Amino acid sequence: MTAADAAIEAVSTTAVLLVALDFDGTLAPLVDDPMTARMTPRARAAVDALAAAPDTVVALVSGRSLGHLREIAEHDDDSPVWLAASHGVQYWVPGTGEEPAPDDAEHLSLRDRLQAELERRTAHATGVWIEPKEFGVGVHTRRADATDAAEAREIADALVGAEAPRWRRRTGHDILEFAFRHEGKDSAVERLRERVGATAVLFAGDDVTDEDALRSLSAGDLGIHIGSGETAADLKVADIDAFVDVLEAVAHQRVAHAQ
């Protein structure tokens, strides 16, 4: 048995398993229009199988706002899948629904002003898209050339640095994001762990924003990185299909272990 097989078996046979998963690049391919992202059929089937497995909780942990995450994940009111959106600020709980959001009226007013100003200052940059987020703003550059992308990032850094210097700055695949809330995927995973009483966590992601959660995992947990690059994960897989192979193995072992 390889070290990877042993790690997969260990989380698969724990008493209560939390499977916490990033969405974009982990379950769904990265696309130019973020709102067209969807899980691959195999990924969706694996998520459904895990959610139905004994003593297993599945959660999507994403930087997307809750409304956008529900839309792209095709997540309905009867879903057994937990959601931790906006990097762990917003939650949707099976059987309960959306939890009340914090009252951040002053910050929301600043957010709206910054969104509008960024749209104005980057309007000339072809392929740059300013995404309004629940707790901040995102600057998407996937469809921009290198010059326009660099200029848009410089504009955003200068504006937010001057107007909202305490906001949290994050980078990802062709996105620069700022948020007035400082929660991260690490705090989201820990909150989910406590709430569901998990005895082990499997967390997986593909981007730099996932590294906070990967570094926060404890002994007995399993962190998985999808793609290339440096990572704190225990296990690296090449792509979504290879990651789905792991999810399918975990789902099979969870069911077999319960029998």
Query: In this predicted model, what pLDDT tens digit does every residue of 41-70 receive, in sequence order?
Result: 999 999 999 999 999 999 999 999 999 999
Q: How confident is the model at residue 101 (pLDDT cuts 50, 70, 90)?
A: confident
This prediction's pTM: 0.82
**Residue 104 pLDDT:** 76
Share the mean pLDDT of the chain: 94
Q: How confident is the model at residue 4 (pLDDT cuts 50, 70, 90)?
A: confident
**Residue 141 pLDDT:** 95
Query: In this predicted model, what pLDDT tens digit does every residue of 203-224 receive, in sequence order?
Result: 999 998 899 999 999 999 999 9
**Residue 258 pLDDT:** 84
Percent of the chain with pLDDT over 90: 84
**Of the candidates 94, 22, 81, 21, which has an alpha carbon nearest to the alpha carbon of residue 51?**
81
User: Residue 84 has what DSSP assignment?
Assistant: E
Indicate if the alpha-carbon torsion angle 10, 202, 15, 48 is positive or negative: negative
Q: How confident is the model at residue 133 (pLDDT cuts 50, 70, 90)?
A: confident
**Residue 21 pLDDT:** 98
pLDDT at 103 over 70: no
Query: In this predicted model, what pLDDT tens digit does every residue of 183-195 receive, in sequence order?
Result: 899 999 999 999 9
**Residue 1 pLDDT:** 73
**Of the candidates 117, 123, 180, 173, which has an alpha carbon nearest to the alpha carbon of residue 151?**
123
Query: In this predicted model, what pLDDT tens digit does every residue of 64-97 receive, in sequence order?
Result: 999 999 999 999 999 999 999 999 999 999 999 9
Between strands 97-98 and 90-93, the pairing is: antiparallel
HEC profile of 185-239: HHHHHHHHHHHHCCCEEEEEECCHHHHHHHHHCCCCCEEEEECCCCCCCCEEECC
Query: In this predicted model, what pLDDT tens digit does every residue of 152-165 receive, in sequence order?
Result: 999 999 999 999 99
pLDDT at 169 over 90: yes
Percent of the chain with pLDDT over 70: 99
